[in-house]
Structure 1
Amino acid sequence: MFAPPTVVALLLGLAATPGTAAAATPAPQPYVANPKPAHTVLGPGDSRTAVRVKFAEGAPVRLRDGRLTGPADAPAVRAALAAGTVSRLFPQSEQELADLTAAARRRSGRVQADLDQYYRVALRPGTDPAAVLDALNALPVVEIAYPEPLPAPPPGAAAARPARPGTTAATPNFADRQRYALPGDGIDAAFARTVPGGTGRHVRVHDIEYGWHVNHEDLTKLTAPGAMVPQGRPSSSFESHGTAVMGELIANDNAFGVTGLVPDATPQLTNVGTTTGHNVAGAITTAARALRPGDVMLLEQQMNTCGGGYGPVEWEPATYDAIVAATSAGIAVVQAAGNGNQNLDAPCNGNPFPRGKPDSGAIIVGAGGAGAGQKCSPPRQKLGFSTYGRRIDVQAWGECVVTTGSGDLQGGADTVKYTARFSGTSSASPIVTGAAAALSSIARERGRTLRPTEIRDILRGTGQAQVGTGGQIGPLPDLRAAIARLQAILAAEGR
């Protein structure tokens, strides 16, 4: 017999090991199993050709020579899985996953999901996925089985406008148009850069994304050895999207183009698309193994939630558990809320989002107006497409963002394109990532590694309040106020 989740929580719970953070570590949270649906109803974002299954915590299930062993070798399980081919969901080895979750548990004291209990089942043509899922969910050894999420478009893009004709003229300096970096309607990254560590030099910022133009003239650090941390064999798409995201974050501080919010941070990239499929959860564990406590991971993804529109990717159980492992390991995870205008407080999303599970520790970002200075929507008001709810922590500009890529501001080859119209929770999330990275780097300058929840609490508690109605997307970070709060904390600790 395998131990139920509550017993596993007691067996695996360990006291948090002392780290560089001086503040008290939150009390450990038990593992909470995913609730099973009474009956499978496939939605528009669900695959009809593949499903995912997580076996119960404590069940000694392993894949050996293409066959599941242990309780999963029972006749009822074999019958339910007979309609497809089983493979492990996460790309890491059993030992690598065990090492990742053990380190996360030691650092945080939080009981981790056994990520090696997740499997993918590629269904044979003509198979009814709902019937397979219902059969799996009827088995006690299965914690949850669900449709594989279909790849969703990125949560925003540059406006669909024709690129200007190419030119051989030198690229102008567009930095004065990056008002999201300034005080007032922006986050005041300009002030953060005057504070030791505030340019991000002590942290890595890691983008999980579809693709990038890594040879862009203003993103030279993307070609450095180690910048690409691949998941499997990458399959790239939406390269202009990733280029715009990285321009907001780490574009070179030079006399042309744009300047990143944290230009001295070390960038890293991991692909969600591979030659064998789309795997956000696997990208997170791939990235987490390359990062250190205090680094920042950005999830530039969205997915269909229970309301049928786009919301945060932690809605998917495997992705949620991977995020928990990353934040428990000390990595700040920033997640786009999605562009579906979904209410995360709706009953079908669980209370709280997602599925009534404990807080993942991630920072979830909504999209707000950029302000009259950009001839855009009123500042800090929820934009109509932004997903909202109590789980949304902070907001940033979801429109009118000047950055690399696309070509409506400057056209030509992909290596010299710039845009003034990057948008969505896609443009908002890198702004918050930049704020988190600046804050973390300043703390490291003073010998302190902030926990992910500390970064979130400071940004949320010192930001400029949301304006208007339409659902909660939280305040806009204010780095000047956030740094003052951080400095007070450090001074109280004698740093």
Structure 2
Amino acid sequence: MKATSLDSLMARALVLGACLLTAPALGASGVKVLEPRLSTVKPTTPELDEETPVERVVVKFHEGTRVRLRQGMIRAMNGERSQEERGRMARYKLSEGRLDQDLNEAQRVMKRSWRWGVPERLFRQDEATLAERKRSAENLSGKEMADLDLYYEVPLEPGMKASEVEELIAQLNALDSVEIAYAEPVMWAASVEVSSDRFSSSARHDTRQGYLDAAPMGIDARYAWTVPGGRGAGVKLVDVEGAWNTAHEDLPDFFHQGGTTFSDGEWRDHGTAVLGVVASQSNGYGVTGIAHEAWVGGQGIATQSMASAIHHAARAVGRGGVVLVELQAPGPRAMKKCACNQSQCNYVPLEYWRANFDAIAQATAHGVHVVEAAGNGGVDLDDPVYRGAFNRAVRDSGAILVGASASTDHAPTCWTNHGSRVDVHSWGEKVVTLGYGDLSGASENRTYTATFSGTSSAAPIVAGAVASLQGAARAAGKGPIRPRVMRELLRATGTPQVPGPKHIGPQPNLRAAMPRLLSR
């Protein structure tokens, strides 16, 4: 692509960013006019394979219904409904009588089995905070945001399968007042198993971090470190997943530790490897993170939904901060059999599920950069089976979706998800970072690996690039960069992928992106 066309592309992105700062237009009545939020199309057939492990059923009531949890019961707060909410409720031709009937029926079907618990709020933040965050996101974006207090979960007994809740979901989706009900599958780390050689112990491994090198092989983080702020200084980043080893010798102190973590060592290794790519310290041993002067933290998902965890993380990092979404889950069956990585066949990014999408959309409206692993399911996200969930013309969360390439070139890995919604890519194999211990490590606090892989390894490389660019912008007095502007910058200045049918976008190139950002 010619430089002039890149400039034009960036100009359009910057105009969009400027538009996001503009207050919503006012109608003739003086009421703000927001871009309407599209409702989800309810599935007419089961979305997941019968044997898919699921951990909760999620229920979302229509906008404007003002359904709230009171004394353990889901109730419609009819007397508290605002004029705006009444208008949104009328959009779906819902009367208060119809809503009350639907709520009674919903609670009846949700309580009819001992194999699941009583309904709870999906987002555990207090109601006032959720309401204020919704209001501010709408004012900032000019777009109608979901009322996250309309989401509820029915916790399921451990070990339940999708087939065991199909009837419950169908009964809930049959109610006019329900926007969507679905089974949320158990979520997994977006890494893959690869074979590797063992290396002898070594005190320093940064020379093996090829992803730090200049383009075309790496993202040229070493160049970014020569730019004021390019090491991520002042930028907050929170990783959302299962666990971390916060005592690792090469990790900084966490500025934020939220949620509850799993006690499993595999989860700790995964989270430690992820944050090692971003923030390992520049201390003369181990490895060096892309944005090693950034403030990092973790938000655990052991006792809360992913959507709630994303919301907490976005509040923690604030405008200009970065939330890294490192998990994936089994989605609809787009392929009967994958060419490789069969154990994760048909796994998709988490924004496929509406609660996660709404949490991410609200975060990006608040100026938070959300970097999301595209997943290792080997599928084309443009497949009709996803009903437009990854079609930007239908909906766009504002997140940066990351695919994975081979370490030797920019060819998509066999198992990476791909499609028009995938924005950028990076190394999906042979990533040197913390944890696991195949590279060296006499104890868990001194483990290193040369084989971190998957979109789990690609996403933190991109998140590090985002933190580096945001740090440079901050140091130059340019303030927080709008998420969609950042996303377009990475796409416009990156190293192209190998041509082919699997679209995973370019790999970030900080040497090309940094001057473009600072000259805007």
TM-score by length of 2: 0.81
**1: CA distance between counterparts of 2:100 and 2:450?**
53
How far the C-alpha of 1:75 sits from its partner, in A, is: 3.6
**Residue 192 of structure 2 contacts residue 376 of structure 2 at CA under 8 Å; is this kept in 1?**
no
Which stretch of the first structure deviates more once superposed, 138-147 or 119-128?
Answer: 119-128
Aligned partner of 1:208 in structure 2 is 240
The question of 1:298 aligning with 2:333 is answered no
Partner Cα separation in structure 2 for residue 246 and residue 82 of structure 1 = 41
User: Cα distance 1:105–1:41, how it changes in 2: closer, same or farther (>3 A)?
Assistant: closer
Distance 1:32 1:196 in 2: 42
Moved more, 105-114 or 70-79: 70-79
Q: Name the residue aligned to 1:438.
A: 468
Q: Is the 8 A contact 2:242 2:261 kept in 1?
A: no
Corresponding position: 1:426 with 2:456: yes
Match of 1:234 in 2: 261
Contact 1:46 1:147 in 2 (8 A): no
CA distance in 1, matches of 2:379, 2:322: 26
- Counterpart residue number, 1:115: 148
Partner of 1:253: 282
Which residue of 348, 355, 368 corresponds with 2:385? Answer: 348
Offset, 1:39 = 3.2
Q: Answer yes or no: is 1:189 the counterpart of 2:234.
A: no
**Cα separation, 2, equivalents of 1:330 and 1:44:** 39
Residue identity matched to 1:345:
D
Q: 1:482 corresponds to which residue?
A: 513
Greater Cα offset, 384-393 or 24-33: 24-33
Q: Is the 8 A contact 1:100 1:289 kept in 2?
A: no
Shift of 1:296: 0.8
Superposition pairs for residues 127-146 of structure 1, below 5 Å? 128-146=164-182
1:233-290 deviation per Cα after TM superposition (whole angstroms, max 9, x unaligned): 433431111111111101010111100001100001101222xxx5211110111121
CA-CA distance at 1:158 after TM superposition: 6.8
* SS of the residue 1:273 aligns to: coil
Q: Distance in 2 between matches of 1:315 and 1:176?
A: 38
Moved more, 102-111 or 186-195: 102-111
Does the 8 Å contact 1:365/1:428 carry over to 2? yes
Encode CA deviations 1:21-77: one digit per residue, 9 max, x unaligned.
983328864211111012335425745663110000101211111111123564433
Equivalences for residues 333-372 of structure 1 within 5 A: 333-351=370-388, 353=390, 357-371=394-408
1:244 aligned residue: 273
CA distance in 2, matches of 1:407, 1:58: 52
Partner of residue 263, structure 1: 292
Determine which of 197, 206, 209 is the counterpart of 1:175. Answer: 206
Query: Could you tell me how far apart the structure 1 residues matched to 2:171 and 2:389 are?
Result: 28
Distance 2:100 2:209 in 1: 55
Could you tell me which of 450, 465, 472 is aligned with 2:496? 465
Q: Name the CA distance, whole Å, in 2 between partners of 1:93 and 1:402.
A: 41
TM (normalized to structure 1)?
Answer: 0.85
SS of residue in 1 equivalent to 2:119? strand
Query: For residue 359 of structure 1, what is the amino acid of its counterpart?
Result: D
Please list the CA deviations of residues 314-352 of structure 1 after superposition, one character each: whole Å capped at 9, or x if unmatched: 001100000001111100000000011111000011235
RMSD: 2.4
Segment drifting more, 21-30 vs 295-304:
21-30
Q: 1:269-308 to 2 correspondence within 5 Å?
A: 269-274=298-303, 279-307=305-333
CA distance in 2, matches of 1:451, 1:299: 18
1:25 aligned partner: 20
Partner deviation per Cα, 1:167-194 (whole Å, 9 max, x = no partner):
8xxx522111111011030000111110
Query: Is 2:348 the partner of 1:311?
Result: yes
Match of 2:430 in 1: 400
1:80 to 101, 105, 109: 109
Question: Which residue of 175, 182, 186 corresponds with 1:150?
Answer: 186
What amino acid is aligned across from residue 488 of structure 1 in structure 2?
S
**1:221 Cα offset (Å):** 2.3
Query: Could you say if the C-alpha distance between residues 351 and 109 of structure 1 is closer, same or farther in structure 2, counting changes exceeding 3 Å?
Result: same
Do the aligned residues in 2 keep the contact of 1:341 with 1:385 (CA within 8 Å)? yes
Q: Does the C-alpha gap of structure 1 residues 95 and 236 become closer, same or farther in structure 2, counting only changes over 3 Å?
A: farther
Unpaired runs of 5+ residues, structure 1, are: 1-20, 372-378, 490-495
Q: Give the conservation status (yes or no) of the 8 Å contact 1:367–1:396.
A: yes
- Contact 2:47–2:331 under 8 Å retained in 1: no
Task: Classify 1:75/1:216 alpha carbon distance in 2 versus 1 (closer, same or farther; 3 Å).
Answer: closer
Task: Name the residue aligned to 2:443.
Answer: 413
For 2:397, the aligned partner's letter is: S
User: CA–CA distance in 2 between the matches of 1:300 and 1:243?
Assistant: 12
Letter in 2 for 1:30: P
Instruction: Give the superposition deviation at 1:122.
Output: 3.4
The aligned runs of 1:379-394 (5 Å cut-off) are 379-394=409-424
Q: Give the match's secondary structure for 2:512.
A: helix
Judged with a 3 Å threshold, the aligned counterparts in structure 2 of structure 1 residues 297 and 262 are, in CA distance, closer, same or farther, namely same
- Figure out how many residues of one structure are paired with residues of the other and give that number: 449
SS in 2 for 1:482: helix
